[in-house]
Structure 1
């Protein structure tokens, strides 16, 4: 149902499968028939987990029991007995402009040899697309070989829920991809192939952290998703419209995009103190 009707992404399906399997193991295979007592046992086992984790697990089970009830596999829906912990969305981790400059300086040093190592050309293309276009890790590693065209300043990405969107591409990104693509086999279906498929998200994570460590950025401060956050944060600092940012990031709900407004406080204060008509007592604002 999640795949066929809701259009859930592969990673979402994997997360639901994991949560349901763990819950089933806790109830010794009695997940489908679980009553309020059984659900209470599940909730008790989640007591030491983070609120966000409990919320995710409970949401998966609520969806599961609602499905069973709607399809006639259960006469009732016990999902109401699952906990609903209050969750507060944490501010996304990001990098400042100096951190980004160090990353790209490190990339430039790696690309200095003539000819550069193909692995470094691949890394440059990955980093340029992560920070330059704000792609999700899965979207990036699964790009088709010809997704980036040399004469087209955008690419079309299929994101969460199967939704397609246009993603802007800088000249730098296209140049980096072109340099790397010369090392990709013409028969490859993917821009970043590995084995019989494409580069894994885990390997991408490792490559990003290794580069960060080389330039003196603590590895625990960075990940592919942190570079996506940096893309969004720096665009917003530069004056990007929130709706445009929502479109570029592929957020279904603008409330998700609005989280970035909370990490730009300094810029908002500066705008009020320098641009507001009452900020300058000598400015003539006309009749009051």
Structure 2
């Protein structure tokens, strides 16, 4: 009994301080201590004769202790609920952090994929441009000799496989050195550009014009017989011969000599056809230039 009178007030005081400090479960400890203390006080007064003897008065301390136990159980339940809520809050926080992390990761992934795609596209464009520059003559913007040989070999193989005609034209600008010596290299460059443009305008889209040397050009004519090739070649020759331009107050005119030949069954490779075309071109030069010569082989 004396223990109750000593311990319960201490618990009561501590519970009040804890409750005022924000610990909500302390209210149960406060009420539990009060119930035990009041019960013990009533029982002590009954035993001392200050209160009449009744069952409730005499057993008040037991009722107080029972209430104490119940209230402490409620305090424990409250504590368990508090801890559960804290756990749920913590789990919710972890989930939210994971979601935020996943969102950031997805954004980073999308950003990286976009950067990789942009970089890949840039590299592909750069590669295509480099390949194009490797195939194109920078001055005249027609194909260069390397690409001409690549396409010519492919067309030669295709023509032989499917037994289709393939004609080739080769032409060289007449007295081109004199053009450079008379008007200057800038004028010579203009002549080369003009010749390339005239040739491109005179042939079909599927035909292939290339600059294969300094002032030497070639035209691949897939599916074209030698008779048709002569008509096309004459159109190019006339177009070049009729063209003139003013360069620093001087009228620049020029011509070209042409050779034409067609693929034969006996040709073992494209070089055999190209050799005939070259020979035909020099036949035109020997005949006085500005002509079209044919060598059928």
After TM superposition, the score normalised by the length of structure 1 is 0.19
Which structure features the higher share of strand residues? 2
Which structure features the higher share of helix residues? 2
After TM superposition, the score normalised by the length of structure 2 is 0.18
Q: Which has the larger radius of gyration?
A: 2
